[in-house]
Amino acid sequence: MRSGQPSALASDALQLADSLGLDRFAVVGHDWGARAAYVCACLAPERVEKCVALSIGWGNVAVDQALSIGQTQSFWYQWVLGLPRGEALVGQEKIAFTRHIWTIWNPGWTVSETEFRATAQSFENDDWPDIVLHYYRSRWGLAAMDPSCADMEARLAADPTIHVPTLVLHGGGDPCVLQETSEGKEDLFTAYYRRALLPGVGHFPQRQSPTAVTDEIVPFLVR
């Protein structure tokens, strides 16, 4: 199964760490990577020393989760991807579609064409469309969940608390995942927890403001 579930992505990360012989490590992730980082930290606290998540808050995983009208509008692309029209977009117009959403997610700043093209090479992977569709469709109950991740999903549902130090960075001008979605999550963390908003920054903080992101992450990791 070509799974896009965060639990499947986290499983990949943990297996990569196994292959590299890493017993303890920090995780840093953005968007999909942030969800994978949270899952790693939640399910493998004996291995994850610290967790850094960019642009995504923890705990927004329920199919029936409450969404504000503003966030519902901002997730328009996720609703489209639940339709045959969305399947055609990621299958036939993936470059134009991705370039468009990357542009509108970063008002006042643009990912350079060189940087975009370098990243867009990965979209040519034959598995990319299926994994993208499964990520969003399974999130909203529009596709079957990955059976190989059933145990991980059950553990997450039973106790989503994260017990490792966690830093969350969220762009103050992010029009894709609104700042409200990462607010008020303190009760889901038992160790050190900090959420920082980066003023005027869109959905890609690490690209738009690498210095500000580095100035937050490095002290946190070495503290």
* Residue 123: CATH number of its domain: 3.40.50.1820
CA angle 182, 139, 71 (to 5 degrees): 40
Predicted TM-score (pTM) of this structure = 0.96
Compute the distance between CA of residue 86 and CA of residue 186 in angstroms, rounded to an integer.
35
Render pLDDT for 192-210 as a digit per residue (tens, 0 to 9): 999 999 999 999 999 999 9
In DSSP notation, 126-137 reads: TTHHHHHHHHHH
Furthest CA-CA distance within the chain: 48
Domain count, the chain: 1
181 within some domain: yes
Token representation of residue 106: 């970063």
Range of the domain at 198: 6-222
Following CA atoms 59, 109, 175, 26 in sequence, which dihedral angle do they give, to the nearest 10 degrees? 0
Residue 110 in any domain: the answer is yes
Please state which of the ranges 26-40, 53-67, 91-105, 116-130 shows the lowest mean pLDDT: 53-67
DSSP one-letter code for 217? H
Residue 113 lies in a domain: yes
Q: For the segment 147-192, what is each residue's pLDDT rounded down to a tens digit? A: 999 999 999 999 999 999 999 999 999 999 999 999 999 999 999 9
154 in any annotated domain? yes
In the 3-class helix/strand/coil scheme, how is 2-57 assigned residue by residue? CCCCHHHHHHHHHHHHHHHCCCCEEEEEECHHHHHHHHHHHHCCCCEEEEEEECCC
Q: Indicate whether 1 belongs to any domain.
A: no
